[in-house]
Amino acid sequence: MKRGIMIGKMVAIVTAILLLISFSVSAREKNELRIATWEDVNTFDPGWMTSGERELTIMTCLYNGLVKYKEGSWEVVPDLAASWKVSRDGKSVTFHLRKGVQFHKGYGELTAEDVKFSLERMSDPKQKSPEKGQWKLLDHVEVIDRYTAKLVLKNQKVNLFTSALPMNTGMIVSKKAVEEMGREKFSRNPIGTGPYELASWEPKTHVKLITFKDYWGEKPKTKKITFLPIVEDSTCETALKTGEIDVGRSAPVNFKSFRKNARFKVYSRPALKTYWLGMTLSHPPFSNLKLRQAFRYAVNVDRIVEAAFYGTAKRADTILPPGLPGYWTDRPVYNQDIEKAKSLMTEAGKSHGFKVKLYVPASDAEKIMAEVIKADAVEAGIDVEIEVKEIGAFNEAANKGQTDAYIQFYTATVDPDYIMRWFAGTSWNPSQWRNARYAELIKKGASEIDPKKRANIYLEAQKEIDKDCWAIWLTHGTKFWIAQKKINIGKIYPNGRLAPWTMGLK
């Protein structure tokens, strides 16, 4: 383990040197803000977003929705819609659009046709949007007139204003641009109405945004923003210390040193993330429930979280973060029990142990977690082989069920449906898990307007996950940002997401 860590550090140092050389070649422009991101974007198309962590912040700079979360809070306020009215039965909402809102790069004025196109393309099964589950209850969008659009639902959609419309699934794209370019080309050449427009994207190098001169709302405080994909925490730390980036992160073990450094300011928020150790059910060894249960008893969640986050995050024992509707307060807590693990392995006919192939993305926290898991599992006779993959290859392999186990995380919202619905269908299901009762509960929860009944539905759904034991929940994390003292960080959302248009240089 020590040898692996030393090699990792050497690779990180070389990467940092190469990255800083590339920074030096591209001199900082005037009134430019440089922000480090974890990995590069895969798409700029909000209906096909692959990662909230990598893509959502950039998308919020490029697009608007009918409504939005007010910067720095979860309060839902008007955005492209100046006002709206919900029908008595809750099955339709009529939105009155702002007039004169322009799309980027001369694509004209936003109209109700763009709203209809943006939402219906996600709900259309033929389009195969990964967000189609979010819009299953959308029947159609009716264009009343140029500036009025009516959302007609099959049933009441409780999370319409909590996670569907204020997130990427509510962002409005230019119908003309998508039809003219085609979806693939549009995913690399986004056309929205947001405060920034895309200036350039060099994959694995940078995403450059510039202010949209015809933006309808309050002008951003910074004219140019460059997002730099930096995978290694150590590389990001070096770039912060040399001043090559303005905002970034560090390894959790180094947060205290940055806090003590007068050149920086550290910001933290409870993250709405879910990290878990997943098991693939479609093939051995984890097609066997008892072996999945044995693996759950073999690992030490407290030790995994402490090693990766150095006391900055707490362990999780269920999919939902505390405070959300349906949070399982008396959930079972599975602590390491090697004897119990061995007993279950014997019952499954594997008393001499078994092998597990574990895929992890190429980021520091997940690699540390994997090493701890490997060290713990061997005590029970489970041989864990770790394979680190670049994020694109990791996602493809994990989603196709090509590994026995994987470490994954995703960023969520304040509504439990957004967090739990991913595992009710087939568009994104890395564990290859199918549970008809779970799928029915998620469907029911999306339309249940009684808060207590809805919370109970999600409670029961969590029990289905626990029963089938395809996930070992790790942590909901803590989001940290480190900024140069000269940076005005602007308004940070409660889960730590940035609002770059509110940021600036002091």
- Condensed to tens digits (0 to 9), the pLDDT of residues 255-292 reads 889 999 999 999 988 888 899 999 999 999 999 999 99
User: Among 186, 210, 231, which residue terminates a domain?
Assistant: 186
The answer to whether residues 19 and 248 touch, using CB atoms and an 8 Å cutoff, is: no
What's the alpha-carbon Rg for the chain, to the nearest Å? 23
91 belongs to a structural domain: yes
Find where tokens 């090559």 sit. 244
> Per-residue pLDDT tens for 311-365?
888 999 999 988 888 999 999 999 999 999 999 999 999 999 999 999 999 888 8
Of the pLDDT bands very low, low, confident and very high (cuts 50, 70, 90), residue 422 is confident
Rounded to whole angstroms, how far apart are CA atoms 198 and 189? Answer: 7
Q: Are residues 123 and 62 in the same domain?
A: yes
- DSSP 3-state helix, strand, coil percentages of the chain (rounded to 5)? 40, 25, 40
pLDDT of residue 288: 98
The pTM (predicted TM-score) of the whole model is 0.78
Query: What one-letter code names the amino acid at 482?
Result: I
Percent of the chain with pLDDT over 70: 94
d(CA 274, CA 317): 10
Using CA atoms, how far apart are residues 235 and 461, in angstroms rounded to an integer? 41
Does residue 429 lie in a domain region?
yes
Q: Is 151 inside a domain boundary?
A: yes
Give 2's pLDDT tier (boundaries 50, 70, 90): very low
| pLDDT at 26 exceeding the cut of 50 | no
Q: Are residues 133 and 212 in the same domain?
A: no
Residue whose structure tokens are 């692996």:
4
Torsion of CA 14, 15, 18, 23, to 10 degrees: -140
The predicted-structure confidence for 158-199, as pLDDT tens digits, reads as follows 999 988 999 999 999 999 999 999 999 999 999 999 999 999
- pLDDT of amino acid 427: 67
Q: How confident is the model at residue 30 (pLDDT cuts 50, 70, 90)?
A: low
Whether 286 and 210 share a structural domain: no
Find, among 272, 270, 316, the residue nearest to 419 by Cα. Answer: 272
Q: What does the pLDDT look like over 99-128, one tens digit per residue?
A: 999 999 999 999 999 999 999 999 999 999
Same-domain status, 277 and 168: no
Whether the Cβ atoms of residue 295 and residue 286 lie closer than 8 Å to each other: yes
The confidence band for 28, taking pLDDT boundaries of 50, 70 and 90, is low
Scan for tokens 């150590």, then name that residue.
Answer: 234
Identify which has the larger pLDDT, 410 or 490. 490
Q: Looking at the predicted structure, is the pLDDT value of residue 8 above 70?
A: no
Answer with the one of 186, 207, 240 that is the final residue of a domain.
186
Do 150 and 249 lie in one domain? The reply is no
* pLDDT score for 29: 61
Calculate mean pLDDT across residues 86-95: 95
338-347 and 289-298 are packed helices; what angle lies between their axes, rounded to 10 degrees?
160
Q: How many domains does the chain have?
A: 3
Is pLDDT of 21 > 60? no
Same domain, 356 and 457: yes
Using N-to-C axis directions, what is the helix angle for 436-445 and 451-468, rounded to 10°?
Answer: 160
Residues 282 and 405 in one domain: yes
Based on the fold, state whether residues 358 and 440 are members of the same structural domain: yes
Q: Strand 196-202: give its sheet, edge to edge.
A: 196-202, 206-211, 224-229, 32-37, 247-248, 478-484, 264-270
Give the pair of three-digit tokens for residue 144.
């009343």
**Based on the domain organization, do 487 and 413 belong to the same domain?**
no
Q: Which domain holds residue 286?
A: 273-476
Same domain, 322 and 377: yes
Helix orientation angle between 233-241 and 2-25, rounded to the nearest 10 degrees:
40
- 23 and 135 inside one domain: no
Residue 462 domain flag: yes
In a domain, 486, yes or no: yes
Final residue in a domain of this structure, among 159, 186, 213: 186
Residue 191 counted as domain residue: no
Which CATH number belongs to the domain containing residue 245 in this structure? 3.40.190.10
173 lies in the same domain as 242: no
Residue 440 lies in a domain: yes
Q: Would you tell me the crossing angle of helices 364-377 and 289-298 to the nearest 10 degrees?
A: 100
Overall average pLDDT of the 133-142 stretch:
93
Q: Residue 171 forms beta bridges with which residues?
A: 65
Place of tokens 């090697």: 338
pLDDT tens track for 192-246: 999 999 999 999 999 999 999 999 999 998 999 999 999 888 999 999 999 999 9
Residue 350: give its domain's CATH number: 3.10.105.10
Question: Does residue 10 carry a pLDDT above 70?
Answer: no
Q: Is the model's pLDDT at 7 over the cut of 60?
A: no
Q: What is the CATH number of the domain that holds 147?
A: 3.90.76.10
The pLDDT-based confidence of 15 (bands split at 50, 70, 90) is very low
Contacts of 305 (CB under 8 A, 6+ apart): 313, 314, 315, 474, 475
